[in-house]
Amino acid sequence: MQLEKKYDPQGSEARIRAEWEDTGIYHCDTAGEGAVFSVDTVSGSLHLGHVYSYSQSDFIARYRRMRGDRVFYPMGFDDNGLPTERLVQKERGLDPSKMARADFEAACKERAAVYGSAYRELWQRLGLSVDWRHTYRTIDDRSQRISQWSFLDLHQKGLVYRSKAPAIWCPECGTAVAQADLDELERQSEYVFLSFATESGPLPIATTRPELLPACVAVFVHPEDGRFRHLVGKQATVPRLGRQVPILADAGADPEKGTGAVMCCTFGDAADLDWWRKYGLDLVEIIGRDGRLCGDSANELTGLPVIEARKKILAVLTEDGLVTGREPTVQTIRVHERCDTPVEYVVADQWFVRVLEFIEPLLEAGESIRWHPPHMIEVYRQWVLNLKWDWCILPAALLRRAPPRVVLRGLW
């Protein structure tokens, strides 16, 4: 066969691709014998970096196939969950809270099918050696049945539980999120200086979240901070509210941050949550799932979004002469990776998967794996060691929406 003088990629590549598909050259013999080399691939929204990284996987798959392994190389389309929902809301201007759930689901599935076709066309043009017979979607019936079966299996083994507990919550997306779903952003903020009363005189405290003052349940100082050592074990009076809270010592209080004395509120950040659990402090629920202040303790701030509540309480505290100073600062906040919305810590019924009791087995499993490049094992180790809570998988209310006969349908 004589080669063409000028290579025509549009015609040649389409012809070669069709030949590959017709001959089934990349089909995995699932019923055969010998080693199976599996590549689990899930694709979402694409950019040039995906082309680079997926090419690397494909090089490995081709290498193992030439060695004689049965290469199981499916393609999955990750079209289930928040990314798809937010894409549809943005593209079509839909508000899921103002429409029937079935209609919104249909809109999501329709857009997912359109994007899935585009993704497949790109991967096929690139020449990935995927076995397209095993294509799956994370929203398809099979994936749903597997997820439901997995949940029931974990439940029967006592590895999932329901508890009313603080959860990381995204007010924008209206869902609980896991630690792995968080990013950190720096933003300009300010310290507001308040004066708490004690039997020994005023105790200055700096806070970036004065709107949480009604939910203050303790004051913390560092055990080695000589300025406050005489106050440990005594009481402080919350300004304007007149409520007394304990003054406690903990190494987590940074003497160099603010005034060195920290008010613990339920909940402003992860440190508040840790202290609340560690010392068995009172619980004052003040932020709802919609990101607005709520509950009896919020008083005149009830119903206000966090930013508006901050402005209002600052005005009230200033008018009452309780603000002793204000100082600009740079603050690191935790945001939901999907929308960059600052997360809150709200109390709600949640389903959790037990994770913390398996820290050591997880570390041991990591040591048994050969990592490429080798230093990535340290990234894995740090991820495991920094887990602080069991894995929150969904609000219990969501599971209650479907009766058991629907949840169980089609599992076996």
Query: Token digits for 13?
Result: 């590549």
Residue numbers of the domain that contains 46: 9-139
Both 313 and 398 in a single domain? Answer: no
Q: What is the pLDDT of residue 114?
A: 87
pLDDT (tens digit, 9 = 90+) per residue, 123-160?
Answer: 888 889 999 999 888 888 888 899 899 999 999 999 99
CATH code of 160's domain: 2.170.220.10
What pLDDT is stored for residue 395 in this prediction?
57
Same domain, 96 and 71: yes
Nearest C-alpha neighbor of 34 from the set 64, 75, 73: 64
pLDDT (0 to 100) of residue 333: 87
Based on the domain organization, do 195 and 132 belong to the same domain?
no
Q: What is the pLDDT of residue 317?
A: 92
365, 388, 44, 398: which is closest to 182 by C-alpha? 388
pLDDT confidence of residue 44 = 62
Beta strand 344-353 with 391-395 is antiparallel
What is the number of structural domains in the chain?
A: 3
- 3 falls within a domain: no
Q: Return the CATH number at 317.
A: 3.90.740.10
Beta-sheet pairing, 42-43 with 76-77: parallel
Boundary-marking domain end, from 335, 353, 371: 335
Shared-domain flag, residues 26 and 113: yes
CA terminus-to-terminus distance, the chain: 54
Amino acid at 33: E
DSSP states along 207-237: ES-GGGGGGEEEEEE-TT-TTTGGGTTSEEE
Q: What is the pLDDT of residue 338?
A: 79
Confidence at residue 197, expressed as pLDDT on a 0 to 100 scale: 93
Looking at this protein, which amino acid is placed at residue 9?
A: P
What pLDDT, on a 0 to 100 scale, did the predictor assign at position 171?
Answer: 87
- pLDDT score at 52: 85
Indicate if 322 and 346 belong to the same structural domain.
no
Q: Residue 276: name the closest of 215, 358, 331, 188 by CA.
A: 215
- What is the distance between the alpha carbons of residues 28 and 34, in angstroms, rounded to a whole number? 12
Which pLDDT score is estimated for 154?
94
User: Is 132 found in the same domain as 81?
Assistant: yes
Which own/partner pairs from 355-361 qualify as long-range (CB within 8 Å, at least 24 positions apart)? 355/387, 355/389, 355/390, 355/391, 356/387, 356/388, 356/389, 356/390, 359/384, 359/385, 359/387
The rounded distance, in Å, linking the Cα atoms of 90 and 375 is: 39
Q: Residue 195 in contact with residue 318, Cβ under 8 Å? A: no
If the chain, 412 residues long, is cut into consecutive pieces of 10 residues, what is the mean pLDDT of each piece? 77 87 90 86 73 89 92 88 82 86 89 86 88 89 90 94 85 80 89 93 93 95 93 94 94 92 92 91 90 86 92 92 91 86 85 93 96 94 90 59 36 32
Residue 41 burial (CB count, 10 A): 17
What per-residue confidence (pLDDT) applies to 45? 64
Amino acid at 199: E
Q: Which of 287, 305, 335 lies at the terminal end of a domain, its last residue?
A: 335
Q: Domain for residue 265, yes or no?
A: yes
Residues 166 and 208 in one domain: no
Dihedral of CA atoms 392, 265, 342, 349 in degrees, nearest 10, equals: 30
Angle, alpha carbons 203-208-214 (nearest 5°):
65
pTM over 0.75: no
d(CA 319, CA 91): 45
